[in-house]
Amino acid sequence: MNTRPDSHEYLPLAEPYVSLVPEGSITEILQQQHDETLKSLSDLTEEQANYKYAEGKWSLKQVVGHIADVERLWNYRILYIARGDAREFSGYDREIFVRNSPSGSLPLREALKDYAAVRQSSITLVGSLTEEALLREGTFNNYPLSARAAAYVIAGHELHHLNILRDKYLT
């Protein structure tokens, strides 16, 4: 499917993510992001990967782990919606997830390996869905959520964090 989700397919808080995603096939966009992310982060040193730009901020490795964890959550939502088992989905506490994630203590190559595995799963899941399945909806925080919109949130969430990485970590 090559069309963007309509604003009624997702909660308003997701708009900043969805708006970052360029036009085109969402599966191709997810694949391009995968390739670009690995290319831009694979050659970093462990010192760079452990860098935090301010007190209380996450390290670059923790950001990579956060991207993977959030993508897992959105894939869960996509699967339920696409399979027709629409329900109310809840949010999560990102600080608890990061605090309890092993990504900050893993070697960077392992954190990127985990990210790559999650992204490949996203690509095959989204790529396998029919247009009908992509347009199915569940509910997230009292707003409609289509499987298509969830895929765009995955892509936009990564773009959001890659912009932060470029601005605050890789300068």
Judged by DSSP in three states, 146 sits in strand
pLDDT in tens, 49-99: 999 999 999 999 999 999 999 999 999 999 999 999 988 888 899 999 999
Please report the pLDDT score of residue 91 as a whole number: 87
Please report the pLDDT score of residue 1 as a whole number: 57
Token pair of 1 as six digits: 């499917």
pTM of this prediction?
0.95
Give the chain's length. 171
CB 86 within 8 A of CB 137: yes
Please report the pLDDT score of residue 171 as a whole number: 82
Token pair of 64 as six digits: 């990579």
pLDDT in tens, 104-144: 999 999 999 999 999 999 999 999 999 999 999 999 999 99
Tell me which residue of 75, 64, 68, 69 sits closest to 151, measured CA to CA: 75
